[in-house]
Structure 1
């Protein structure tokens, strides 16, 4: 019994070019601020900047600069700002913390279903229809 040709084509490994720019930019965006904070004795300043570099490197997928800016800014504001605010509000509340994290995970999953960039970028009302 052999697999159908379409299935063989779908699962065939295809070589892709190495993203050298991202592979170099990510450690610099994370390690440089962290090293600066350690060497100057201001780890409290270097750590959030390094975490911002880490977060922005996760959402960097290339494409037009406007789309990149939207993804990075949205993750920074919503992921960082909202996450810190919610974390401070529910800190030390026991099971409420678990419930809040479950609700946020469900919300994130629902946004992801909206499109490939639904969980990482803000789109206008007209953009949702054109994306499908």
Structure 2
């Protein structure tokens, strides 16, 4: 391999790593922003599918008198059939996350149509 090929290979690797870091930072920022400014409701984990890249969690939550189906990948683990809080962007309902670290442990008698500004009950076990 020539010296020029080696330099080009290193440049490509450096650019690739920079792009990966940018996407990672954007994802972390978007999740943080959603948790700070989003609204909360309750969702139910419907199923887990397994793909080459990992697990995909499929869930349903209630917002604006409708059931919304969504899915996401997560490093955390959920249990099918269990309920968890979901944070969502009311201006773009497709921006949502099921919060596996925030299980619904007690009865919630009613969910506001537009969700809550914050999680209304304790989620500590």
TM-score range, shorter chain: under 0.3
TM-score, structure 1 length as denominator? 0.23
Higher strand share: 2
Higher helix share: 1
TM-score, structure 2 length as denominator? 0.24
